[in-house]
Chains A and B, each alone.
Chain A
Amino acid sequence: MSKDLPTNESITPEQVAEHGLSDEEYKKLLDLMGRAPNITELGIFSVMWSEHCSYKTSRIHLKKLPTTGPQVICGPGENAGVVNIGDNQAAIFKMESHNHPSYIEPYQGAATGVGGILRDVFTMGARPVANLNALRFGEPDNPKTRHLVSGVVAGIGGYGNCVGVPTVGGEATFDASYNGNILVNAMNVGVADTDKIFYSAAAGPGNPVVYVGSKTGRDGIHGATMASAEFDDQSEEKRPTVQVGDPFTEKLLIEACLELMRSDAIIAIQDMGAAGLTSSSVEMASKGGVGIELDLDHVPCREEGMTPYEMMLSESQERMLMVLKPGREAEAEAIFRKWDLDFAVIGKVTTTGRLVLTHKGETVADIPLPALADEGPVYDRPHEPTPPQAEVDPASLDHPEDIGATLLKLIGSPNLSSRRWIWEQYDHMVMADTVQRPGGDAAVVRVHGTKKGLAMTSDCTPRYVAADPAEGGRQAVAEAWRNLTAVGATPLAITDCMNFGNPERPRIMGQFVGAIEGMAEACRVLAFPVVSGNVSLYNETNGKGILPTPQIGGLGLLPDASRQATLDFKAEGESILVLGFNRGHMGQTRYLADILGRAEGTPPPVDLATEKRIGDFVRELISSGAVTTVHDVSDGGLLVAVTEMAMAGGMGARLAVDPGELPLAAWLFGEDQGRYVIAVKDPEAILKAAESKGIPAHLIGTTGGASLSLDGRFDIPLADITAAHERWLPDFMAAET
């Protein structure tokens, strides 16, 4: 097999460089192949060895994350993670980045991000039931920001709305570090029966390899390679590498796949995502420890005259690869034809351990599979810790006198104002099981036909991670856990989307290593393992990286979705309590940055044992029915949290607080972790129970009225607060560029 295959050309050093392979990597390729590759083979190596597909930089560090637990059915390594939700049902979920394409072509980039994550979930046998996302844009003043927000939001909505899966939650923030590299992370959650979960390992020599879905076109070639490099001034010329989505076909593909999955005809199935036919066939064969042979003449093509190179590297959307049991082709084909989808037997499973491609009767590629997978490059890149930041002493700050004006400014600021303009463009109710809509701490979607609820959230505070990667990593996991807890759910597991800059710079690599360390610790202490994830590096333009953004997608379970808490004030005259430690932490707060203009300091520390103790206490209050109004304290601090509760309920509150030694503003706007605000009729029992568990609980006011007031400091009509909160984003989007 070491004989050269027919080629029209020999590979030049320029071609090697264009394919993103370093000189060392090309030498390794030659070693593994035992001969020079042809252009098709070079293309295949280039995508399989790309950072995006190979995880060559992150692999050794990702291993440090805890991935097991009694609830885990399948951890990282498959298309998505699988957790047990009881009654022989499983939730299957994952989050994935689509950052680079979304910057270049926001509508299609974001739309196909949703499409890809949906496929990862239904590939495993689940019906997708909810979409979430996390969006990071550049500063509002950046001339491109408005265009990107508009396109990304429309693209996410355009795809999810048509497919008919509700988009129920997410985050969207603005920061200058994302000016040249926005982040679009899409998450999907699906539900399957535990005895109907499908995996990707090919098996059974001779079994047919089947292609279903859309035809293959010339779009998206080199998408994975693009996503594995920094941007420069010419990056926008890469528009042709962005794929085009067709949500209608995706909808057909979901229904057709789920219909076939009701039979036992499928041995293995894998979606064609990044690097399309290449990565799907290589991964299926590698996982099964078999070989695979494809006859490219049978690949359904959109255009004539496509070369093997183009077919293997196309990232055309809405396609799947399956291995079927022999003799079941006709039954499967009938289902896909019914849904007007292409169906073609394009190859077979072999025993050779090689990927062999034929085209027009000739062998056009013949590669040992281990070379593309486990034997590929793995790096332990040098990493350097982030220098420690100085503590910010709350007493040293020059706090503004007017607390009311400060609140209005914060609540109407780019990062704390309402995201309604975004989520109203997403159908968040289709499937008629959304029992907690966007705007709360976590969305809750009922498991269809049961009373169970799945709670879901997506969280990260990038400025904390930048200031102290380990602390920020801990905080991201803890915040997801806290948001699930705040609606009454038992947190089950997370998916992560690790968005960082160029890992070849030791400082960036240090952020990655540090964040993983913090995340791993939080996952362990909170029994909240990682079951799936994705890494997106090189989010950097002309040498400027993004804030490190390890986005966490959390999933929790409510045994009875009618026993959920929401954040809105519900009745007049209830006592408002804050649970947890108020230490007036000022470093890296929204208040410090947006009011005092100082983006500095250490992020608020997360004490995981305390976090767990307080969270478990709150969850018990909710599940016992003692409390139905809960909100966690996060960005903006205590006063912002209380204000959000008032706005959600359309009901004001009278507040009176005793900050003790702390400046009042620090008490109100500090971002200490592990805190919840609750509203209850009778606070005595809760105060007593909290005391017995060593959990600080303070009475800070009473609900009611049409205004929000703080004893002696301000009294503002709720309508004015709500107007300030709702106004910023629509006004920003409506403004002339």
Chain B
Amino acid sequence: MKSAVIVFPGSNCDRDVAVALERITGKKPAMVWHGGHELPKVDLIVLPGGFSYGDYLRSGAMASHSPVMREVIERAKAGTPTLGICNGFQVLTESHLLPGVLMRNAGLKFLCKDVWLRVENTQSLFTNRYAKGDIIRIPIAHGEGNYFADPDTLKRLEDNDQVAFRYVSAEGEVTDAANPNGSQHNIAGIFNDSRTVLGMMPHPERLAEPALGGTDGRKLFESLLETVA
């Protein structure tokens, strides 16, 4: 598998996701600087967490107009698997590769903690190693993760099974108490309609190794290993 991690000047989880990719797939991803227009031919594009351009405006809004994103948008539209984590998810919605927006957390505070997710759809190159309904523990760390979309979009996402992960209680129930940021339908991650693009607020790369306190994120990277040649 060849993968590329896009590095914006304010990315700060670029190394973390590269380490997880390398540890689990055995191959080092290419680190691609935001200023370049040249994106190597790869089987997976990763938009990492962080604060792309400082995010003093809406998170990810500036990044969506950066030179490298023109190329990423083109490739993603042509079917190259693309994964956006946290700030990467925000960049994906701002770039219209995924519908909806990520608003300020309902509690108005940055929140860093482990949350429970339910795997809603395993029919994707990102989630095929999970079982449908798996309850997994993955950390979040964001101030703007409150997923919002208009009712038609939400209906389409639900009808097409485009919700990848939902915030749930430890017992797997979709409750308000389990929703850390006020996201509609407790949405933590969504696919595009062809399920080649995944955006998610939680950080699977942060719990992909026993020393860090858990390995529930590991299967996401293992899923990619199997699917992407």
Q: Does A associate with B in a complex?
A: yes
Which of A158, A251, A423, A435 contacts B12 (CB under 8 A)?
Answer: A251
C-alpha spacing A427/B53, complex, angstroms: 18
* Nearest 3 pairs of A and B residues by beta carbon: A164-B12, A248-B54, A432-B16
Check if A163 sits within 8 Å of B53, measured CB to CB. Answer: no
Report the nearest B residue to A338, measured CB to CB: B35
Contact flags B109-153 to A (C-beta < 8 A → 1, else 0): 111110000000000000000000000000101010000000000
The contact size tier of chain A is 20 to 34
Q: Smallest CB–CB gap between B146 and chain A, Å? A: 16
Tell which of B66-74, B95-103, B171-179, B205-213 binds the partner: B205-213
Check if A429 sits within 8 Å of B139, measured CB to CB. Answer: yes
Check if B212 sits within 8 Å of A432, measured CB to CB. Answer: yes
Contact flags B17-33 to A (C-beta < 8 A → 1, else 0): 00110000000000000
> Does B10 count as interface, using CB distance less than 8 angstroms?
yes
Check if A429 sits within 8 Å of B9, measured CB to CB. Answer: no
Contact flags A328-366 to B (C-beta < 8 A → 1, else 0): 000000000011100000000000000000000000000
C-alpha spacing A158/B112, complex, angstroms: 12
Q: Can you name 7 A-B pairs with beta carbons within 8 Å? A: A154-B110, A161-B143, A162-B55, A246-B54, A248-B10, A428-B112, A430-B13
C-alpha spacing A426/B203, complex, angstroms: 15
Residues of A within 8 A of B56 (CB): 248
C-alpha spacing A275/B206, complex, angstroms: 39
> Does A561 count as interface, using CB distance less than 8 angstroms?
yes
> Does B81 count as interface, using CB distance less than 8 angstroms?
no
Residues of B within 8 A of A463 (CB): none
Which of B10, B13, B206 contacts A162 (CB under 8 A)?
Answer: B10
Check if A163 sits within 8 Å of B109, measured CB to CB. Answer: no
Report the nearest B residue to A449, measured CB to CB: B19
> Does B15 count as interface, using CB distance less than 8 angstroms?
yes
Q: Smallest CB–CB gap between B175 and chain A, Å? A: 18
Check if B53 sits within 8 Å of A248, measured CB to CB. Answer: yes
Report the nearest A residue to B143, measured CB to CB: A161
Check if A425 sits within 8 Å of B213, measured CB to CB. Answer: no
Report the nearest B residue to A166, measured CB to CB: B112
Contact flags B23-52 to A (C-beta < 8 A → 1, else 0): 000000000000100000000000001110
Check if B109 sits within 8 Å of A432, measured CB to CB. Answer: no
Q: Smallest CB–CB gap between A564 and chain B, Å? A: 10
C-alpha spacing A453/B110, complex, angstroms: 27
Which of B54, B113, B139, B211 contacts A446 (CB under 8 A)?
Answer: B211
Q: Smallest CB–CB gap between B132 and chain A, Å? A: 28
Contact flags A217-255 to B (C-beta < 8 A → 1, else 0): 000000000000000000000000000001111011001
C-alpha spacing A437/B141, complex, angstroms: 14
Report the nearest A residue to B52, measured CB to CB: A248
Q: Smallest CB–CB gap between B169 and chain A, Å? A: 15
Report the nearest B residue to A150, measured CB to CB: B109
Residues of A within 8 A of B209 (CB): 432
> Does A279 count as interface, using CB distance less than 8 angstroms?
no
Contact flags A347-389 to B (C-beta < 8 A → 1, else 0): 0000000000000000000000000000000000000000000
C-alpha spacing A437/B139, complex, angstroms: 12
Residues of B within 8 A of A339 (CB): 9
Residues of A within 8 A of B19 (CB): 432
Q: Smallest CB–CB gap between A653 and chain B, Å? A: 23
Counting chain B CB atoms within 10 Å of each CB, the highest count among A164, A425, A427, A437 belongs to A427
> Does A157 count as interface, using CB distance less than 8 angstroms?
yes
Check if B51 sits within 8 Å of A248, measured CB to CB. Answer: yes
Which of A247, A425, A429 contacts B110 (CB under 8 A)?
Answer: A425
Residues of A within 8 A of B113 (CB): 424
Check if B110 sits within 8 Å of A432, measured CB to CB. Answer: no
Which of A255, A428, A435 contacts B211 (CB under 8 A)?
Answer: A435
Check if A164 sits within 8 Å of B112, measured CB to CB. Answer: no
Check if B211 sits within 8 Å of A561, measured CB to CB. Answer: yes
C-alpha spacing A710/B110, complex, angstroms: 39
Using A339-B9, A435-B212 as known contacts, say yes or no to A430 and B16 having CB atoms under 8 A apart. Answer: yes
Using A432-B19, A434-B212, A561-B211 as known contacts, say yes or no to A425 and B12 having CB atoms under 8 A apart. Answer: no
Report the nearest A residue to B19, measured CB to CB: A432
Residues of B within 8 A of A157 (CB): 110
Check if B111 sits within 8 Å of A424, measured CB to CB. Answer: yes
Counting chain B CB atoms within 10 Å of each CB, the highest count among A247, A251, A423 belongs to A251
Q: Smallest CB–CB gap between A292 and chain B, Å? A: 31
Counting chain B CB atoms within 10 Å of each CB, the highest count among A162, A340, A446 belongs to A162
Chain A contacts with B in 246-282, Cβ cutoff 8 A: 246-249, 251-252, 255
C-alpha spacing A163/B11, complex, angstroms: 9
Using A157-B110, A424-B111 as known contacts, say yes or no to A162 and B9 having CB atoms under 8 A apart. Answer: no
Which of A427, A432, A562 contacts B112 (CB under 8 A)?
Answer: A427
Check if B9 sits within 8 Å of A252, measured CB to CB. Answer: yes
Check if A432 sits within 8 Å of B205, measured CB to CB. Answer: yes
Which of B11, B15, B20, B143 contacts A431 (CB under 8 A)?
Answer: B15
Using A248-B54, A251-B9, A430-B141 as known contacts, say yes or no to A425 and B112 having CB atoms under 8 A apart. Answer: yes
Which of A164, A340, A561 contacts B13 (CB under 8 A)?
Answer: A164
Q: Smallest CB–CB gap between A567 and chain B, Å? A: 14
Chain A contacts with B in 609-632, Cβ cutoff 8 A: none
Check if A425 sits within 8 Å of B54, measured CB to CB. Answer: no
Residues of B within 8 A of A432 (CB): 13, 15-16, 19-20, 205-206, 209, 212
Using A164-B12, A251-B9, A437-B213 as known contacts, say yes or no to A429 and B206 having CB atoms under 8 A apart. Answer: yes
Residues of A within 8 A of B51 (CB): 161-162, 164, 247-248, 251
Report the nearest B residue to A426, measured CB to CB: B112
Which of A158, A251, A562 contacts B10 (CB under 8 A)?
Answer: A251
Counting chain A CB atoms within 10 Å of each CB, the highest count among B20, B35, B51, B53 belongs to B51
Chain A contacts with B in 128-174, Cβ cutoff 8 A: 154, 157-158, 161-164
Q: Smallest CB–CB gap between B66 and chain A, Å? A: 12
Q: Smallest CB–CB gap between B51 and chain A, Å? A: 5
C-alpha spacing A425/B13, complex, angstroms: 17
C-alpha spacing A430/B50, complex, angstroms: 9
Residues of B within 8 A of A561 (CB): 211
Q: Smallest CB–CB gap between B36 and chain A, Å? A: 11
Residues of B within 8 A of A164 (CB): 11-13, 50-51
Counting chain B CB atoms within 10 Å of each CB, the highest count among A424, A432, A434 belongs to A432
Chain B contacts with A in 165-202, Cβ cutoff 8 A: none
In the complex, given contacts A158-B110, A162-B10, A247-B51, what are 6 additional A-B residue pairs having Cβ atoms less than 8 angstroms apart? A154-B109, A340-B9, A429-B139, A432-B15, A432-B209, A435-B211
